[in-house]
Chains A and B, each alone.
Chain A
Amino acid sequence: GQQLNQSPQSMFIQEGEDVSMNCTSSSIFNTWLWYKQEPGEGPVLLIALYKAGELTSNGRLTAQFGITRKDSFLNISASIPSDVGIYFCAGQLAGNQFYFGTGTSLTVIP
Chain B
Amino acid sequence: GAGVSQSPSNKVTEKGKDVELRCDPISGHTALYWYRQSLGQGLEFLIYFQGNSAPDKSGLPSDRFSAERTGGSVSTLTIQRTQQEDSAVYLCASSLGRVSRETQYFGPGTRLLVL
Contacts and interface: CB of A to CB of B under 8 A. Distances in A.
Interface of A: 1, 4, 6, 30-31, 35, 40-45, 48, 50, 88, 90, 92, 95-103
Contacts of A30: 100
A45 B102 contact: no
Contacts of B109: 40-42
Given A95-B99, A96-B31, A42 B45 contact: no
Given A96-B50, A100-B43, A102-B42, A42 B103 contact: no
Contact of A43 (B31, B102, B106): B106
14 contacts: A1-B59, A4-B42, A41-B108, A41-B109, A42-B4, A43-B91, A45-B104, A48-B101, A48-B103, A88-B42, A96-B31, A96-B48, A102-B40, A102-B42
A45 B108 contact: no
Interface of B: 4, 31, 33, 35, 40-45, 48, 50, 56, 59, 91, 93, 99-109
Q: Which of A40, A42, A97, A101 gathers the greatest number of chain B CB atoms within 10 Å?
A: A42
B106 A42 contact: yes
Given A42-B107, A48-B103, A95-B99, 19 more contacts: A35-B106, A40-B109, A42-B4, A42-B93, A42-B109, A43-B43, A44-B106, A45-B104, A50-B100, A50-B101, A88-B42, A96-B31, A96-B50, A97-B45, A99-B45, A101-B42, A102-B42, A103-B40, A103-B42
A63 to B, nearest CB: 14
A48 B102 CA distance: 9
